[in-house]
Amino acid sequence: MNDSSLLLSIAVLGGTGKEGKGLAYRWAKAGYQVNIGSRDAAKAEAAAKEILEMLGGNAVIEGHNNIEAAKRSNIVVISVPYSAHKDTLETVKDELKGKLLVDVTVPLVPPKVATVQMPAAGSAAQEAQQIVGSEVQVCAAFQNISYEHLMENDAVECDVLVTGTSKEARGETIKLVEAAGLKGWDAGPIENSVVVEGLTSVLIGINKKYGSTHAGIKITGVNR
């Protein structure tokens, strides 16, 4: 393992949840310095310990409260239930200035999680942009990847659509997608995140109807 001071550091806020923990596992395995964030630092520390044990101790991963995790990291990923989205961003927004925020959140509103229900801002990612301000580049990604895939070591036959506030931010996010062992696609400006986030409800409905947990998307017809 390289000296941690030379590694790009990623905070995963909500890293104690299934999707966040899976992403943290993938990035720690790829050699990134990972800071798992949670409202409860003890839960974050336990999740970091679990992942470290899974990787045989060969990783740089720590658990902190959300503010400390964001403060220690170059890139911040938020993967929390939509009900906690606004409060989490309000808590950490002072630590996000000049950084890239990757929003994994989907605006699911129980009990009708298989029905697309978008917020007034248009999407969770656009809502995040309003909260954190123009000093933060915001991308949306990973909404359509089942968490069951992420904790496995096999190749994942699903693609990741990346929308965001700039071409450069989308490019950096696609690097994270590829580091996680997935294929990323530049899906355009952050306004397009309404489609990407909405697809999650469609995939949940497909899973329910056909008895699966792994429905995803794949881009075809493009040579790349």
> What digits encode the pLDDT tens for the residues 166-195?
999 999 999 999 999 999 999 999 999 999
pLDDT of 217 above 90: yes
Given a contact cutoff of 8 angstroms between Cβ atoms, the answer to whether 18 and 32 are in contact is no
Q: What CATH class has 4-210?
A: alpha beta
Q: Where are the domains of the chain?
A: 4-210
Neighbours of 112 (CB within 10 A): 10
Query: pLDDT tens digit string along 136-165?
Result: 999 999 999 988 788 878 778 899 999 999
Query: pLDDT tens digit string along 19-52?
Result: 999 999 999 999 999 999 999 999 999 999 999 9
Query: pLDDT tens digit string along 100-127?
Result: 999 999 999 999 999 999 999 999 999 9
Given a contact cutoff of 8 angstroms between Cβ atoms, the answer to whether 109 and 85 are in contact is no
- Predicted local distance difference test score (pLDDT) of residue 3: 43
Q: What is the mean pLDDT of residues 62-81?
A: 97
- Predicted local distance difference test score (pLDDT) of residue 10: 98
Q: Which of 58, 29, 3 is nearest to 151 (CA)?
A: 29
- Predicted local distance difference test score (pLDDT) of residue 1: 38
- What ranges in the chain are assigned the alpha helix state H? 18-30, 41-54, 66-71, 82-92, 124-132, 147-150, 167-179, 193-210
- Predicted local distance difference test score (pLDDT) of residue 219: 95
- Predicted local distance difference test score (pLDDT) of residue 7: 63
Higher pLDDT, 14 or 148: 14
Full-model pTM: 0.94
In this structure, what are the phi and psi dihedrals at residue 193, rounded to the nearest 5 degrees? -65, -20
Q: DSSP 3-state assignment of 189?
A: strand
- Predicted local distance difference test score (pLDDT) of residue 2: 41
- Predicted local distance difference test score (pLDDT) of residue 155: 78
